[in-house]
Amino acid sequence: MAKRSTLFIRIVEGKNLPVKDITGSSDPYCIVRIDNEAIIRTATIWKTLSPFWGEEYNVHLPPSFHNVSFHVLDEDSLSRDDVIGKVSISKEALAAKPQGIDGWMNLTEIDPDEEVQGEIHLKVSVLGKGYAPKILRCHVFEARDLAKKDRNGASDPFVRVSYNGKVHETAVVKKSCYPRWNESFEFELDEASADTPLSVEVWDWDLVSKNDFLGRVLFNINRLQSAQQEEGWFRLGPDKPKHSQYEGTLGSLRLKLMLRDEMVLPSSHYQPLVELLCQSVGAHLNGNLPELMMLIDETTTAESRQEVATNLIKLFLGQGLVKEFLDVLFKLELDKTGEPNTLFRSNSLASKSMESFLKVAGMQYLHRLLGPTINRIFEEKKYVELDPNKVELKEAGCAGLHRVQTEADVIQQSAGHLQSYLFDLIHAIVQSAVYCPTSLCQTFRQLYQRVQERFPEKEYRKVKYIAVTSFLCLRFISPAIMSPKLFHLREKHADARTSRTLLLLAKAIQTIGNLDTLACFSKEPWMVPLQPAIQQGIAQLKDFITRLVSCDDSEDLGLQARMSLQCGSMEKEGFLFLHRTKDKCMLMTSPFKKYFVTLGKDTLSYARTQHSKKSSFIPLPKIRAVEKVEEKSFGSANVMQIISEDNGQMETLYLDCKSVNELNQWLSALRKACIHNTDTMSSYHPGIYKGDRWSCCHQKDKADAGCDKTRHGVTLQEWYDPLDPDLESQLIFRHLIGVRQAMREKYLEKIKTEEGHEKDFIADEERLDGVRRFFKVLQDLQDAHQAVEEEAERSRNKNFLLELQT
Residue spans of beta strands (DSSP E) within 75-179: 82-90, 101-106, 119-127, 135-144, 157-163, 166-169
- Three-state SS letters, 208-243: CCCCEEEEEEEECHHHHHHHCEEEEEEECECCCCCC
Indicate if the pLDDT at residue 179 is higher than 90. Answer: yes
User: Residue 496, by phi and psi: left (phi above 0), alpha (psi -120 to 50) or beta?
Assistant: alpha
User: Residue 716, by phi and psi: left (phi above 0), alpha (psi -120 to 50) or beta?
Assistant: beta
* Closest to 168 in 3D by CA, of 149, 152, 186: 186
Rounded-to-integer distance, Cα 226 and Cα 552, Å = 76
Indicate if the pLDDT at residue 760 is higher than 50. Answer: no
- What backbone phi and psi angles, to 5 degrees, belong to 686? -75, -5
Say which range, 143-152, 490-499, 765-774, has the weakest mean pLDDT.
765-774
pLDDT digits (tens, 9 = 90+) for 314-355: 999 988 899 999 999 999 999 888 788 778 878 899 999 999
Predicted pLDDT at 241: 66
Predicted pLDDT at 234: 93
End-to-end CA distance of the chain: 30
- Three-state SS letters, 622-642: HEEEEEECCHHHHCCCCEEEE
Indicate if the pLDDT at residue 285 is higher than 60. Answer: no
**How sure is the predictor about 216, in pLDDT bands with cuts at 50, 70 and 90?**
very high
Predicted pLDDT at 806: 53
Element (H, E) at 6: strand 2-15
pLDDT digits (tens, 9 = 90+) for 17-54: 999 988 899 999 999 999 888 899 998 888 899 999 88
Say which range, 162-171, 280-289, 489-498, 541-550, has the weakest mean pLDDT.
280-289
**How sure is the predictor about 1, in pLDDT bands with cuts at 50, 70 and 90?**
low
The SS3 call for residue 365 is: helix
Strands 683-684 and 212-219 turn out to be unpaired
- What backbone phi and psi angles, to 5 degrees, belong to 689? -90, 110
Report which of residues 582 and 598 the model is more confident about.
Answer: 598
Rounded-to-integer distance, Cα 510 and Cα 534, Å = 10
Say which range, 402-406, 420-424, 539-543, has the weakest mean pLDDT.
402-406
DSSP 287-349: T---HHHHHHHHH--TTTHHHHHHHHHHHHHHHT-HHHHHHHHHHHHHHH---GGGTT-S--H
DSSP 724-738: -HHHHHHHHHHHHHH
pLDDT digits (tens, 9 = 90+) for 236-250: 988 876 655 555 688
pLDDT digits (tens, 9 = 90+) for 537-558: 999 999 999 999 886 654 444 4
Rg of the chain over all Cα atoms, to the nearest angstrom:
31
* Closest to 505 in 3D by CA, of 471, 470, 530: 530
Indicate if the pLDDT at residue 177 is higher than 90. Answer: yes
Rounded-to-integer distance, Cα 668 and Cα 657, Å = 13
* Closest to 115 in 3D by CA, of 200, 63, 38, 24: 38
Contacts of 502 (CB under 8 A, 6+ apart): 374, 377, 481, 482, 484, 494
CA 642 to chain centre: 21
pLDDT digits (tens, 9 = 90+) for 93-138: 999 998 899 999 999 988 877 788 899 999 999 888 766 778 899 9
Predicted pLDDT at 718: 78
Q: 692 near 700, Cβ under 8 Å?
A: yes
